[in-house]
Structure 1
Amino acid sequence: MLEDNGDSEIWTGKLSKEEMNMKNYLIRLNQYADSWTKLNKVAIFFRKEYQMLNVIADIGKIVSGNSQSDLLEFLIPEATKQRYIVGIDFDLAKKSLVFDLLAEGGENGLSKQKLQEYLFVASEKGNRPQFSPTSSNLGYLVSQTLPNLADFLPEDSELKKLLQKARDRFFMEVQEESGKKSAFVLNEKFIPDASSHFAKKPENLKDAIADYAKELAKLIEEKTTAPAKETIYTICVNGEPVAGHPDYQRFLWRQNSESAFAGGFSGTCSVCGTKTEVTQDTTRFAMKFYMTDKVSFASHFDSSNYYKAVTACKSCYQNIIIAEKWIDQHLRTRLGGFEVYVMPQTIWGEMEAIRLFRYLQAITREFNEVKNIASLREAESNIKERAEHMGVFEQNAFIWNFLFFRKSQSAFKVLTLIKDVPPSRIMEITKRTHETDDSRKKLEIPDNISFDLDQIYRLIPLRKRGADLQEYKKILQLYACIFNGLPVQKKQLYHFYKQLACVHHFESYALYQIQKSNNPDYALMADTLKWNLFLLFLQKLNLIEGESTMNTNEFDDYFPDGVKEAFAELGYNAAQQGLALLGYVIGVIAYAQYKEGLENKPVLEKINYQGMSEEKIVRLFNDAFEKIRQYRKNKTVSYAERWLALAKKLYETGAHKELTADERVFYLLSGYSMNLLRSKPPAGTAETEETEPMEEELA
């Protein structure tokens, strides 16, 4: 027993003053380190966003031909689904309101020429005041548009005076019942044959205006025969469209260019680096990569310092406005379930950059072919189209940027940005997609069970409710790895597959984005084959490691027809082959049970879709052996005993202990799904033997 001789210090559970000082120092040091890490991340973030603004501005410069005089042209969409333009004419002399059909388009909608004639531009975002006299939203036109435009136009404007007269004569001011809100609304007494009346003090002003507009739309449809859903409305005064008035056109041009510089100041443009007059007013930018409405994002937490986040000179500002409209119309596509802007970044000199315009026009079409295997097959069938297709990617004049986003009426949210993808990478992805499809054909997997970039979204379950960026990241990070050539964690992929298997097995489609199937068993088998093609695709891109396949030539005669070839093509090792062969036998037994009237296939309940441990696999081997003896009378099942013996040998001689619970589920169900390929007699059987393909019963 140790004795205290009085020299040792007894620790009382409290720190000495020196120790406390050291502790505080370490805490502060850790805080500083954490702060520097965060600051570094913020710096990297803003550096990327400045680069993207530069990319956007460059696109605007290219598509406008370095001339911003035709700014309004870029605000007009190329086409719309609407087919009619109806004029709402305020006749000041007759004090009457007239509805006229002014223009009619073809089956594909109104042409850009007609849309430009009436200056059909997008509505203002969110709760901003609306002022566009041409809109598909009739609620705006019968309430705020005309009064707002009358207020916004300069005092010396001739149009302003006309609109003020129309407002005073045709509109009434209505107040909400609570007294908190009021608005101008078209007076119902001027509406011919009006069947609805606007309440003097509605409970909810916004809802009342919407209902009022619906009733008016029905009346206009009766008088003009233009269906409301296919109609754009435009305000006219004394028979002349307001959109055609020079005062309005000048106002619209200023709103999208000069108005942002009302509070301009001398500074450095964040986009081009020029020292000149700049603005921090980016409210009209559609794509925002930064915060200008939360003080915590301002330098020194001072709202007057937002300019330090981003500033733009007049030239860059207008180029960005032009580019955003053009990008939304020409470079917008979808990848899986995500909306994407495909934005190339030129690396040519300024003179040669003009040549890039024709490539810009083709880029979205070409990317749509890359992501979809059916389009790739079609392009491959035409040698000329194939040459043009590859020609776009062989142009090393630019690198690709993929901006994944979500867009609502008032918000633009960046989901992720995949930057600096070289054309050679796109060509590599295209090549490996073709090779994967060639493997599918070799294995005689049906065309409807194929893999492409679009399919990834349908192979990884995402929760519908409460879905946030963390859910989306499951797939977005995979896309980033594919485009940037980054390695993928194979264990995570097996986990994603297990989730998909559970969705099909438990039919929990309502919780996820996976499409509901009337035949979950067949859907599971089809998706499992797609997952095998997906892993093969990643392996061909060297994003996951391939397996060391076992040379099993001595056992070739014991494999079911086509299964050995599938194992070799997909690169299964010995243990994986053993599990897959066990799964194949389970499928044969399930088919026999189905033929005997057991439609729920009880043998499938032996599989734990949430993960298979080593003990459960051993038990499943034993259960499968018992079921083979039970259904031995079935000719197909009679050959399953040799398959099961081979499966057990392969599994035990392979590295089965290294397999995870999720991995075992994947290879087990992969073998089960290979029964879809069983359209030929099993090895060793007569050609006349009845061996129907399972797909006939499952599809």
Structure 2
Amino acid sequence: MQEGILQIGKAVYDKENFLNNIVEKIDIKDKKGNPKYIIQINFDTKSQKIEIKLREEANTKSPQNLLWIGTADGPSSPQWYTTGNKPTYLISQVIPNLVNMEIEGLSNDLKSIFDNFFYDMGELDKRKKRYRYVIDLSKLSTDLKSNEEILKECDGDVKKAIKKVEKEINDYIKKELGIKPKEVALYFLSIDNVPISDNKEYRKRVKKEKLKAFEQGEKGVCSICSSKEGLSSDTSKLQLKFYTTTNLNFPSGFSKKNYSKNMLLCKECMLQLIAGEQFIMDKLKTNIGGLQIYLIPHFLYDSSLTRNDMELISERIMDTFTTSKKVEGIVELEGEIWDTIDLSGKENYYLLNILFYKSSQQAVKVQKLIKDVHPSRFSTIINNSHIVRNDFKKLISNKLSIPFGLESVYYLIPVKIKQGEIKEYRKLLTIYEAIFKKLPIKKDMLLKSQIKLMRIHYFENQRQYNVKKAKLHNAMIQSNMFFKFLENIGCLERGRVMDTDKLNIEDDMKNYIEEMRYNEEEAAMFLLGCLVGKVGNKQYTDRSGKKPILNKLNFNGMDISKTKRLSSEIVSKLRQNKILKYNEKLYAAHKQLFDKNIKNWSLNKHDNLYYILSGYSYVTSKTMLREGGSKDE
């Protein structure tokens, strides 16, 4: 992964304009396509007033023009950058910190701003010192609450007071400009309408801060290029960390001084890594469901890529991901990249590192790195996604419109969501790794997860999980598609299919059993589920959409005793609903297989329930699609 980031960094690094390499991207429109805005917080020295006004609609040049480089490195670092995506630091820490930094040609000018436009909330202990000052709201508008009033409301809690001041400012912007906080892309500070970020000395200090790790070079050899000059083991400026720099188990001799023996970087390599990281975070960031992803190509030759090449490559990936939220973009890239680079006679020219991550404060926490995925694997994935969809249309109905792709997989493996954050994500990421790398998946583990999924759907408990609301039969058919897909791409072992010529049932059912490669026990449960579906369909018609037959199923699993009971009771249910004469052959086929294998039954309670639900969903889907597709169970 590191080599891939470096390759990208070499392609995009602007040696003449260092700051351009660390400028961050912004969203210039919201999800609905509405514009976002740039808000100016201006200190007017003539009127001694603070003005908040609309600068412009956000555009692709806004971050560079205003030097938007995120927040200062590290969660506890003093904040002093004058452009932000929230006003919190701008209205409190930034100006006081810049004054204390004694930047020639800037700090003295800012001292008068600090003296005239900021409110002192009093002496604080060292831990809270950063919260001492906040802008004086009376300088903005006399209609707003006073700082004294806010501090009193917060019982002297300065941190809460700053939040309240921020809310007052947001409410002011909404009232005066008609712009809500979520509609703002960036805020910036200016003095007499000149952005502080335009100041040459300010920009010099930003550059110096980013490069200060190399001021006193360490001894050794660069871990990447073998240079011996300008070395540093400080990787705090890198956001995609390769190893921990805080855990004492990692450095040689368990001493923090020995991190240099783990990794040393020269100035040039560090700058290229920073540039590569920033490009990846701006241009190669995507998601599958609630999982955040960076796609990091690793070129297998001595590349001479330019920034334009990388822009084109990233656009092609992201355009596809943005519109489809599936992996087709990577497959398209594999074909289109040949138009960008002349690689005559060369094969396997790049691999992809797929980095799943979580943003935590100002750091990136790596959840899983899937290394060296060959682009041809995505061709396999996409082709088989199409094959499975088409096969199930043939098996059930041409009207079947259940989607399937990598996005679908996210919603098929239930994991808990707490406060909008995915918990227990490891199982889900293990499934994705198996799909990307053609690794085997344990069928029993997968079956248990699918039973849990069906239980969630049946009891409509989706809100606690990463599960979209769906009807039980649709969810079950999609689950069947998932199993077939995994078999096709080599992640699940194919079962030994039974000889369906022995069964006196309709050909469509035989075809489904053969396509799903059911053995006799699985087919017996599938046919029992078909009978449940037949009863359910009749009950649905006669009982205003109710299906009491489903109460016979235990959604924690159907052990052999419960399965025997259902097999016996289904006859009376067919008779009660006056459909036995239409389903005698189907029941006979179920009993034929069930009785034959009952003494040596090998399926567990989860298997039994899964195949019963498969049969139920097959019959329900065929009936509903044939009749025009009622949306109820």
Superposed CA deviations along residues 394-419 of structure 1, whole A, max 9, x for unmatched, are: 97321011000111323321111100
Name the CA shift for 1:61/1:602 in 2 (closer, same or farther; >3 Å).
Answer: same
Q: Name the structure 1 match of 2:363.
A: 411
Q: 2:191 aligns with which of 237, 245, 257?
A: 237
Does the 8 Å CA contact 2:498/2:517 hold for their aligned counterparts?
no
Does the 8 Å CA contact 1:363/1:392 hold for their aligned counterparts?
no
| Cα distance, 1:662 vs structure 2 | 1.5
Q: How does 1:533-612 map to 2 (within 5 A)?
A: 533-553=481-501, 555=503, 558-560=504-506, 562-597=508-543, 600-612=546-558
| Cα distance, 1:173 vs structure 2 | 2.6
Whether 1:76 aligns to 2:24 is: yes
Q: Name the structure 2 match of 1:160.
A: 107
CA distance in 2, matches of 1:139, 1:352: 40
Does the 8 Å CA contact 2:221/2:227 hold for their aligned counterparts?
yes
| Cα distance, 1:566 vs structure 2 | 2.0
Q: How does 1:282-431 map to 2 (within 5 A)?
A: 282-351=235-304, 357=310, 358-366=312-320, 372=326, 388=336, 396-431=348-383
Q: Which amino acid aligns with 2:535?
A: I
Superposed CA deviations along residues 580-609 of structure 1, whole A, max 9, x for unmatched, are: 111011111122223332754332222222
Name the CA shift for 1:653/1:71 in 2 (closer, same or farther; >3 Å).
Answer: farther
Name the CA shift for 1:479/1:86 in 2 (closer, same or farther; >3 Å).
Answer: closer
Does the 8 Å CA contact 1:146/1:163 hold for their aligned counterparts?
yes
Superposed CA deviations along residues 286-311 of structure 1, whole A, max 9, x for unmatched, are: 22242222334333222222333433
Q: Which amino acid aligns with 2:437?
A: N
| Cα distance, 1:62 vs structure 2 | 1.6
Q: Which amino acid aligns with 1:61?
A: K
Name the CA shift for 1:515/1:245 in 2 (closer, same or farther; >3 Å).
Answer: same
Q: Which amino acid aligns with 2:118?
A: F
| Cα distance, 1:492 vs structure 2 | 1.2
Superposed CA deviations along residues 557-588 of structure 1, whole A, max 9, x for unmatched, are: x4246322222222222322221111011111
Superposed CA deviations along residues 188-239 of structure 1, whole A, max 9, x for unmatched, are: 4433434211136752111101111221333345455554443433222233
Name the CA shift for 1:503/1:679 in 2 (closer, same or farther; >3 Å).
Answer: closer
CA distance in 2, matches of 1:501, 1:79: 38
Name the CA shift for 1:95/1:273 in 2 (closer, same or farther; >3 Å).
Answer: same
Structure 1 SS opposite 2:485:
helix
Q: Name the structure 2 match of 1:641.
A: 584
Deviates more, 1:652-661 or 1:395-404: 652-661
Q: Name the structure 2 match of 1:485.
A: 438
Q: How does 1:91-130 map to 2 (within 5 A)?
A: 91-92=44-45, 94=46, 96-99=48-51, 101=53, 103-105=55-57, 110-124=58-72, 125-130=74-79
Does the 8 Å CA contact 1:264/1:280 hold for their aligned counterparts?
no
Q: Which amino acid aligns with 2:362?
A: S
Q: How does 1:163-312 map to 2 (within 5 A)?
A: 163-175=110-122, 181-182=128-129, 183-199=132-148, 203-224=156-177, 226-231=179-184, 232-256=186-210, 258-312=211-265
Structure 1 SS opposite 2:424:
helix
Does the 8 Å CA contact 2:49/2:139 hold for their aligned counterparts?
yes
Does the 8 Å CA contact 2:24/2:282 hold for their aligned counterparts?
no
CA distance in 2, matches of 1:198, 1:301: 49
Q: Kindly tell me the number of residue pairs found equivalent between the two proteins.
A: 613
Superposed CA deviations along residues 135-155 of structure 1, whole A, max 9, x for unmatched, are: 23223222111121222353x
Structure 2 SS opposite 1:333:
strand
Superposed CA deviations along residues 354-379 of structure 1, whole A, max 9, x for unmatched, are: 78523344233456688639x79xx9
Q: Which amino acid aligns with 1:568?
A: E
Q: Which amino acid aligns with 2:411?
A: R
CA distance in 2, matches of 1:386, 1:321: 26
Structure 2: state its 5+ residue gaps: 30-34
Name the CA shift for 1:194/1:260 in 2 (closer, same or farther; >3 Å).
Answer: farther
Q: How does 1:596-675 map to 2 (within 5 A)?
A: 596-597=542-543, 600-632=546-578, 634=579, 637-653=580-596, 657-675=601-619
Name the CA shift for 1:386/1:566 in 2 (closer, same or farther; >3 Å).
Answer: farther
Q: Name the structure 2 match of 1:131.
A: 80
Q: Of the two, which has the highest radius of gyration?
A: 1
Q: How does 1:26-105 map to 2 (within 5 A)?
A: 52-64=1-13, 67=15, 69-77=17-25, 79-81=27-29, 83-92=36-45, 94=46, 96-99=48-51, 101=53, 103-105=55-57
CA distance in 1, matches of 2:337, 2:552: 49
Name the CA shift for 1:161/1:627 in 2 (closer, same or farther; >3 Å).
Answer: same
Q: TM-score, length-normalised on structure 1?
A: 0.80
Q: Which amino acid aligns with 1:327?
A: I
Does the 8 Å CA contact 2:119/2:147 hold for their aligned counterparts?
no
Structure 1 SS opposite 2:453:
helix
Whether 1:696 aligns to 2:625 is: no
Name the CA shift for 1:302/1:254 in 2 (closer, same or farther; >3 Å).
Answer: same
Q: 2:451 aligns with which of 492, 498, 504?
A: 498
Does the 8 Å CA contact 1:342/1:364 hold for their aligned counterparts?
no
Name the CA shift for 1:391/1:433 in 2 (closer, same or farther; >3 Å).
Answer: farther
Does the 8 Å CA contact 1:269/1:311 hold for their aligned counterparts?
yes
Whether 1:464 aligns to 2:408 is: no
Name the CA shift for 1:102/1:451 in 2 (closer, same or farther; >3 Å).
Answer: closer
Does the 8 Å CA contact 1:370/1:430 hold for their aligned counterparts?
no
CA distance in 2, matches of 1:150, 1:178: 20
Structure 1 SS opposite 2:377:
helix
Does the 8 Å CA contact 1:188/1:194 hold for their aligned counterparts?
no
CA distance in 2, matches of 1:88, 1:368: 33
Q: Name the structure 1 match of 2:32.
A: none
Percent identity between the two aligned chains:
28
Whether 1:475 aligns to 2:409 is: no
Deviates more, 1:126-135 or 1:589-598: 589-598
Q: TM-score, length-normalised on structure 2?
A: 0.87
Does the 8 Å CA contact 1:175/1:181 hold for their aligned counterparts?
no
Structure 1: state its 5+ residue gaps: 1-51, 518-522, 681-690
Does the 8 Å CA contact 1:345/1:399 hold for their aligned counterparts?
yes
Q: Which amino acid aligns with 2:389?
A: D
Q: Name the structure 2 match of 1:36.
A: none
Name the CA shift for 1:573/1:389 in 2 (closer, same or farther; >3 Å).
Answer: farther
Name the CA shift for 1:679/1:661 in 2 (closer, same or farther; >3 Å).
Answer: closer
Q: Which has the higher contact order (CA 8 A, sep 6+)?
A: 2
Deviates more, 1:296-305 or 1:619-628: 296-305
CA distance in 2, matches of 1:646, 1:451: 32
Q: Name the structure 2 match of 1:34.
A: none
Name the CA shift for 1:291/1:466 in 2 (closer, same or farther; >3 Å).
Answer: farther
